Chains A and B, each alone.
Chain A
Amino acid sequence: MYSKKVINHFKNPHNQGIIKNPDAVGQVGNPVCGDVMRVYLRIKDDIIKNIKFETLGCAAAIAVSSVLTDLVKNKTLTEALKVNNNEIIKELGGLPAQKVHCSALGVEAFKDAINNYQKNKNAQKN
């Protein structure tokens, strides 16, 4: 059912855990299945210096979380925001049809974190 890459990321996810005193946190729940992903960001000079995730979800959701963190790490915010679901699915060697929706979890949790980061920054400016 799952590709080798999905299984590998699921078994040994990258960047799993939390960041203490993060610069931003984002969280999103999947309305279809009730699964949840949270990301923690360390941002410096508009670059994702560090990212960690926590996910309650299926094997696909955890693999997606792992790949997302790989894809955005060390990128500028602008570049990182370009990462999309298709890229994640490609990186995972594909996902079973009924699991494609799980890929949304990663990008959306990340976008939520960036959103929170920018809101926070604007608030500090004012």
Chain B
Amino acid sequence: MRKKIKKIYLDYSASTPIDKKVLSAMLPYFNNKFGNASSVHGFGQEALKAVDESRQKIAQFFNCSFQEIIFTSGATEANNLAIFGLIKALKRKNSKSKLHVITSSIEHQAVLEPFNALKEQGVEVTILPVKSNGVVDIEEFKRAVKDNTVFVSLMYVNNEVGSVQPICEIGKLIQKINEIRFKKWQKIEKEIRGDKPLMIYFHTDATQAINFFNCDVKHLHVDLLSFSGHKIYGPKGVGALFVKTGVLLDAIQLGGHHENNKRSGTLNVPGIVGLAKAIELFDKKIIEKSNKKIAKLRQLLVEKIIKIIPNTILNTDINQSAPNFAHFSFLRVEGEAILILLDLAGIAVSTGSACASNNLKASSVLLAMGIKEEIAHSSIRFTLGKQTTEAEIKQVIAILPPIIEKLQNMAPQ
């Protein structure tokens, strides 16, 4: 009889298994404590209490206040709400001015598609290029800012190659630009200067960063921040948007006026409890230890693969990335073919982002990094997680090279 192979999961940036503690924190809110958090009776109040406590825990993690957290169905919705909600409010307030917004070429679709839609609505859009390591160039950013720039959205950690963006630096820059705008305006005589000048609001999609990096919103100097439960060992279908007090934001989903009228819809109480529990488990010491372990295992994987497989290209910049990403290109093979052979061998990886799997075009993130199309097609993304072991990485190091060789041998010279 065939021995059943133990499956190895190396696609943690697509989704993570829910932590046992998170799951057990959630369970009561599916049945015993099932109340609607908007209801006035005891059932409702019990649910509301859980939501309030969860909101408090999350606010503490991000070093923001309780009412600055809006629960959503995940990072996609949080990004949509941040982008459309803010622009809608700004347009309402400044119907005359043409607004300018900035993002980068390596954002998740959940940011790029809303930006495309803004463009169609007549908003001026700049999409920043990235350097070859997948990091936005601060100088390029400075050049892109104009007098009518009102919004910037940059992801904290890229979901394909894992590059870390200089959020804190850009956040500080934006703050400076805003101060200058304000001072300029103050100098103008009161009678003629009109309304306060437009400020730049800064949003970051921190979905892939929560597990590894400082997400204190004051440290980052961001006005809005999105994240998702299922990337942080929490449940799917729940996430949140941090919106700094004073930032204008119109609802884009209308209904029963939940979440301070910013996001209508009955609150996903078990999801919210799970999200908070997942966040609560981010004890600094535990995180540091686990991240060190992940970084060490990635190092092992990268070193061995580069050494064993000739002409391997590492697309992840080890010095400027989340420690769990290892994105490779293997010349003269198609990434999808590698993925399927690895899957048959019990190893789960991804070609680029999970969303790209239905799309045969080369990843736009890799192309933005200046990687040639045929090389972009030859890539595989490994993302490690809390449960990844050295034995698993060693198994990959043993299994991957013959797979690449087999496929390379099938390709025309």
Contact = CB atoms under 8 A, between A and B. Distances in A.
Contact of B373 (A34, A38, A58): A34
A115 B362 CA distance: 31
Contact of B411 (A11, A13, A54): A54
B100 interface: no
Interface in A1-55: 2, 7, 10-11, 13, 16, 27, 32-38, 54-55
A7 B344 contact: yes
Contacts of A98: 358-360
Given A33-B377, A34-B377, A58 B334 contact: yes
A80 interface: no
B344 A35 contact: no
B410 A16 contact: yes
A56 B336 contact: no
Contacts of B359: 98
Interface residues of B, number: 20
Contacts of A16: 410
Interface in B305-346: 332-334, 336-337, 340-341, 344
Interface string B220-264: 000000000000000000000000000000000000000000000
Most chain A CB within a 10 A radius of its CB, from B336, B358, B362, B377: B336
B412 interface: yes
Majority secondary structure, A binding face: mixed
Contacts of B341: 11, 59
Most chain B CB within a 10 A radius of its CB, from A7, A10, A58: A58
B374 interface: yes
Interface residues of A, number: 24
Nearest to B333: A56
A37 B377 CA distance: 15
Interface in A59-82: 59, 61-62
Contacts of B373: 34
Nearest to A60: B336
A94 interface: no
Interface string B356-389: 0011111000000000011001000000000000
B337 A58 contact: yes
Contact of A59 (B340, B411, B412): B340
B410 A13 contact: yes
A35 B333 CA distance: 9
A62 B336 contact: no
B352 to A, nearest CB: 13
Interface in A95-126: 98, 101
B410 A59 contact: no
A56 B362 CA distance: 15
Contact of A56 (B332, B340, B344, B358): B332
Contact of B337 (A27, A36, A62, A101): A62
Given A33-B377, A34-B377, A61 B334 contact: yes
A95 B373 CA distance: 25
Interface string B387-404: 000000000000000000
A14 B163 CA distance: 41
Nearest to A98: B358
Most chain B CB within a 10 A radius of its CB, from A7, A33, A61: A33
Given A59-B340, A98-B359, 12 more contacts: A34-B362, A56-B410, A57-B334, A57-B337, A58-B334, A58-B336, A58-B337, A58-B340, A59-B337, A59-B341, A62-B337, A101-B360
Interface of B: 332-334, 336-337, 340-341, 344, 358-362, 373-374, 377, 410-413
